[in-house]
Each structure stands twice: as structure tokens, then as C-alpha cells.
Amino acid sequence: MKFSEQLRKKADSIWNASFEHPFVRGVADGSLPIECFTYYVQQDSFYLSRFAQVQAIGAAKALDFHTTSQMAFHAKSTFDAEHMLHEGFAKDLGLEKNSEGHMAEEPAPTAVAYTNHLFSVAYKGSLGEVIAAILPCYWLYWEIGEKYKGSTPEHPVYQKWIDTYGDEWFATLVKEQINRLDDCAKKASAEEKQRMESIFITSSRYEYMFWEMSYTLEKWPV
């Protein structure tokens, strides 16, 4: 079994919890209160701005020119595709950007904790560890896109979100990163692979918590 398949299997119960989370189900069947989606877009806008920085650090950590170029391309794709998707939502939902170019007035605890986890791996870890940290962000959304592809929520914004992650361009990016994880794992020591697994599980847990944060409109307690 490939290393990516092993990690996917270990994260199965966490990913199933994401598939069934009322935020995700609510987007697919159109029942999600719009204020939860609006909060998600604001927080995700912050998340994506940090995610692209982590992809760019991955570019700098790569040991060959081609991988550097591809990781930088992925950072640009986060801006061109996902950030631009949010720009469209912002228009529909009446949101504004701040001076950093994202829409979160105040990043929520889970958004801060998740991006701090990604930054900690990016600054301390190898490229393999960086890929393990960011892969659930790709792969989970792809599976959600595949799972809910046939859904037809009445709200056009929800439909657009589902269509985006069920699209072929996204699948291509995801498959490339899955292959990259397996390539890195082939060269990694047993200890590094253990760290990659633990990092992958932590990111999977944060993905679940991101739905919960959006659904409950999580804020700092004081």
C-alpha cells in the first residue's frame, strides 16, 4: 500500500466526521444558514493567505528546480483560483477586504491555531512534512467535491463552492500533491515518516474543526 493510502486510511474516521458535519451537509442540501457560510468565507480568506505562504516555503525547501517551480505554481493557484472564488463570494455576500488582502476582521481561534500548525511545520520540517501538512487541505476538499457533486443546493453560492471542488482542475492539483507525498516518503527515514503521519492527522483534525468553527461562529472568549 502506498504511504498516501496508509495515511488516508488512518485518517478515515476524522474525514468521515467532516463529510457528515452539518456545515458540509448544509452546503450540499442548501440548509446551511448563510451567516455560517459568510463567516467561513471570511475565515477561509485569512486561511488561504497563510496557506499560500506555506506553499511558497515548500517551494524554497524543495531539493530540485522542478519541484520549486511547481510548489510556487501551487501558491499562485491558491490566489488565482481559490482566492478569486472568495472574491466572487465577497461580492455576493457584501464582504470587504482589509489591508492584508483577506476578509477576516479577526481570525478566529481555530483559524489561528490551524495556520500556526502549518507555519510551524513549514519552518521546522522537510518538504515531505510540509506536503503532509497541506495535503488534507487538498485531498479532503476533493473528496467532498466528489461526494457531493450531484447535489443541487438552491443557493447559487453553495452550488459554486461544490462545483469548484468537484472540478477536474482541482483533481489534477490534488493528485500531483499525493504523488509528491509518496515520492518524499520513499526517501524519508522511519522517524520522518512517523512525523509526516502525525502532521497529516493533526491537519485532518483542524479541517474538521474549521467546519465546526464556521458552524458555531467561533470567537475568542475574551
Ligand X SMILES: Cc1ncc(CN)c(N)n1
> Mind telling me the catalytic residues?
137, 207
Burial 15-27 (b: 16+ CB within 10 A, else e): bebbeebebbebb
Q: Which is nearer to ligand X, 82 or 129 (CB)?
A: 82
The region of 41-49, 59-67, 144-152, 183-191 touching ligand X under the rule CB under 6 A is 41-49
Distance CA 51, CA 49 (A): 6
The least distance separating ligand X from the CB of residue 45, rounded to whole angstroms, comes to 9
Nine-digit cell string for 35: 451567516
Question: Taking a C-beta distance cutoff of 8 angstroms, is the pair 133, 204 a contact?
Answer: no
Q: Which residues between 130 and 159 bind ligand X (CB under 6 A)? A: 137-138, 141
The region of 44-52, 101-109, 124-132, 179-187 touching ligand X under the rule CB under 6 A is 44-52
Nine-digit cell string for 154: 438552491
Residue 2 CB neighbours (<10 A): 13
127 touches ligand X by CB under 6 A: no
How close are the terminal C-alpha atoms of the chain, in Å? Answer: 47
The least distance separating ligand X from the CB of residue 106, rounded to whole angstroms, comes to 17
Distance CA 105, CA 119 (A): 21
Q: What are phi and psi of 30, to 5 degrees?
A: 80, 5
* Size of site (CB under 6 A) for ligand X: 9
The residue at minimum Cβ distance from ligand X is: 137
Judged by CB under 6 A, the residue of 39, 47, 148, 161 near ligand X is 47
In three-state secondary structure terms, 73 is: helix
The least distance separating ligand X from the CB of residue 191, rounded to whole angstroms, comes to 27
Q: Which residues between 57 and 96 bind ligand X (CB under 6 A)? A: 82
Nine-digit cell string for 171: 483533481
Nine-digit cell string for 33: 444558514
The least distance separating ligand X from the CB of residue 11, rounded to whole angstroms, comes to 14
Judged by CB under 6 A, the residue of 132, 210, 214, 215 near ligand X is 210
Residues that bind ligand X (CB under 6 A): 44, 47-48, 82, 137-138, 141, 207, 210
